[in-house]
Structures are given as C-alpha cells and as structure tokens.
C-alpha cells in the first residue's frame, strides 16, 4: 500500500512540471523567433555593408576623375597659427572676432585648442590670411560703422 506522502509528492511534482512547461514553452518559441529575426537582420546588414562598399568604390573612382574646385579646397586649422595671424595683424581677440563674425570667447577657445571653427568660419579665417594690417583695420572700421548705423535705425 502506497504512502499518502509519496503519492502527494508525486502529484505535486507532476503538476509543477506541467505548470512550468506551460510557462517555458512560449518563452522557448519566442526565443527561437528572436534568433531567426537576429539572423535575418545580420544578413541584411552584411548585404547593406557590401552595397555601401561598392558605392563608395564607385564614388571614389568618379570623384578622382572630376577636377577639384577651388571652393572645395580644404583649409587646415592650427591653433598656434591663428594666434600668430592675430598677432601679425595686431588685433585683440575681440576685434579679430568681429572680423570673423564670432565672439572673443570663440577666438580664445580656438587659440587654446579646446574647440575648432566650423567650415564657414574656416573659410572666413582663410580669407583673412592674405590681408595686411591696414586692410584689417579698414574692414574693422567698416564693420563698426555698419553696426553703429544699424543701432541708430533700430
């Protein structure tokens, strides 16, 4: 004759397995679906990377065949060079900033090397490289008078 304790234990074990199986099976199915989705995404990424590589190779060959325009010429920026250019023109950071169209703080940050100018500011800096002290003074004077006229109108 079986012991009631062992029968009860077996029944509890059977029910707990049945219950856990009911909760684990959907998780297993979802995991398998996620793995299939991940594999599909990896294949798509690999295909897109191949396409990008192919297009970049085509772009390099067409870009090398085209002549380089003057406006697309890359301007090099060196913080020490900016400081020496400003000193060559005998301008303060404030006045040099007015010529470029930025604040004195921006000039300070560029000279210290903590930030870099944007491309449109780089082109303005490159334009200032070829001028002398007199030309810089005249441009600065024109900017100041234009600013004063604007303030009087407003």
pLDDT score for 109: 95
Average pLDDT across the chain, whole number: 88
Model pLDDT for residues 109-125, shown as the tens digit of each residue: 999 999 999 988 998 89
pLDDT score for 12: 95
pLDDT score for 83: 92
> Alpha carbon of 134 to those of 85, 93, 140: distances in Å?
14, 17, 10
Whether the predicted pLDDT of 42 surpasses 90: yes
pLDDT score for 44: 97
Tokens of 97: 């900033």
Model pLDDT for residues 57-69, shown as the tens digit of each residue: 888 776 655 554 4
pLDDT (average), residues 141-150: 85
Q: Tell me the C-alpha distance between 78 and 125, whole Å.
A: 11
Whether the predicted pLDDT of 40 surpasses 50: yes
pLDDT score for 68: 47
> Alpha carbon of 113 to those of 15, 105, 147: distances in Å?
71, 12, 30
Domain boundaries, the chain: 8-62, 79-153
C-alpha dihedral (84, 82, 128, 95), degrees to nearest 10: -90
Tokens of 66: 């085209």
The CATH H-level superfamily of 79-153 is lambda repressor-like DNA-binding domains (1.10.260.40)
pLDDT score for 63: 61
User: What letters, b where the CB count within 10 A reaches 16 and e where it falls short, cover 130-143?
Assistant: eeeeeebbeebeee
Model pLDDT for residues 49-103, shown as the tens digit of each residue: 999 999 988 887 766 555 544 455 677 888 899 999 999 999 999 999 998 999 9
- pLDDT confidence tier of residue 127, bands split at 50, 70 and 90: confident
């Amino acid at each position: 004759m079986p012991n009631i304790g062992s029968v009860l234990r077996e029944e509890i074990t059977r029910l707990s397995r049945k219950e856990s199986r009911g909760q684990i099976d959907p998780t297993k199915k979802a995991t398998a679906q996620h793995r299939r989705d991940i594999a599909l995404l990896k294949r798509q990424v690999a295909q897109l990377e191949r396409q990008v590589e192919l297009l970049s190779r085509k772009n390099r060959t067409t870009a090398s065949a085209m002549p380089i325009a003057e406006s697309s010429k890359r301007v090099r920026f060196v913080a020490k060079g900016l400081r020496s250019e400003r000193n060559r023109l005998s301008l303060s950071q404030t006045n040099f900033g007015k010529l470029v169209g930025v604040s004195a703080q921006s000039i300070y940050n560029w000279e210290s090397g903590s930030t870099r100018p944007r491309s449109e500011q780089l082109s303005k800096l490159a334009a200032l490289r070829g001028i002398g002290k007199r030309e810089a003074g005249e441009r600065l004077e024109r900017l100041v008078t234009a600013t004063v006229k604007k303030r009087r109108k407003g």
